[in-house]
């Protein structure tokens, strides 16, 4: 299990908005502004950077939940920075407060959840024919994600 992670542990990630990060890249009739999925990806990366220094051995953290508001648009060429700070934890589950800002303003905010997993165990579970790595996620997170133990694999 990851060594003790202090409340307030921080991480960040930055990128310059390119065409591939825009709504237009997904559909030509949409405007060329930073997409919500790309902003969330950057926030998740910042959260990963906040927790990863505390993981041990083959541990990493993986996303388990998101609650994000995308509040302002950013155009191509704009520099966006996401920051994450650990707000709380319950066992191997962590909640981080995240924000994203461009050069002018806050463009998004919310929380992301992450869980510590062993890469080796995760990969073995995928190879083992169980059909789903979701079983690696303990019951509270599975229930929050709408997963049931009696659901067929992949559901």
Q: Give the pLDDT of residue 132.
A: 56
Q: Give the pLDDT of residue 126.
A: 84
The catalytically annotated residue of 44, 59, 83, 136 is: 44
For residues 58 and 69, give the distance between their C-alpha atoms in angstroms, rounded to a whole number: 32
The catalytically annotated residue of 21, 59, 64, 70 is: 70
List pLDDT tens digits, range 109-137.
999 999 999 999 888 888 876 555 554 55
Q: What is the 3-state secondary structure (H, E, C) of 10-67?
A: EEEEEEECCHHHEHHHHCCCCCCEECHHHHHHHHHHHHHHHHHHHCCCCEEEEEEEEE
12 noted as active-site residue: no
70 noted as active-site residue: yes
Beta bridge partners of 115: 62, 93
Q: Give the pLDDT of residue 26.
A: 92
Q: Which domains does the chain have, with CATH numbers?
A: 10-144 (3.10.129.10)
Nearest to 94 by CA among 59, 120, 123: 59
Q: Give the pLDDT of residue 83.
A: 98
111 noted as active-site residue: no
Spans of the chain below 50 pLDDT: 135, 139-155
Q: Give the pLDDT of residue 92.
A: 84
Beta bridge partners of 22: 34
Q: Give the pLDDT of residue 144.
A: 43
Contact between residue 134 and residue 73 where contact means Cβ atoms under 8 Å apart: no
């Amino acid at each position: 299990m990851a060594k003790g992670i202090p409340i307030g542990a921080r991480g960040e990630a930055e990128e310059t908005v390119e065409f591939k990060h825009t709504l237009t890249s997904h559909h030509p009739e949409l405007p060329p502004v930073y997409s919500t999925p790309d902003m969330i990806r950057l926030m998740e990366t910042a959260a990963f950077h906040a927790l990863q220094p505390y993981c041990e051995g083959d541990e990493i953290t993986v996303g388990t939940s998101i609650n994000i508001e995308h509040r302002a648009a950013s155009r191509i060429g704009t520099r966006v920075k996401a920051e994450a700070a650990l707000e709380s934890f319950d066992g191997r589950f962590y909640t981080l407060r995240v924000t994203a800002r461009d050069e002018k303003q806050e463009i998004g905010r919310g929380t992301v959840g992450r869980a510590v997993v062993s890469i080796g165990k995760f990969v073995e579970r995928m190879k083992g024919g169980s059909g789903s790595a979701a079983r690696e996620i303990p019951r509270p997170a599975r229930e929050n994600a709408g997963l049931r133990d009696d659901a067929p694999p992949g559901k």
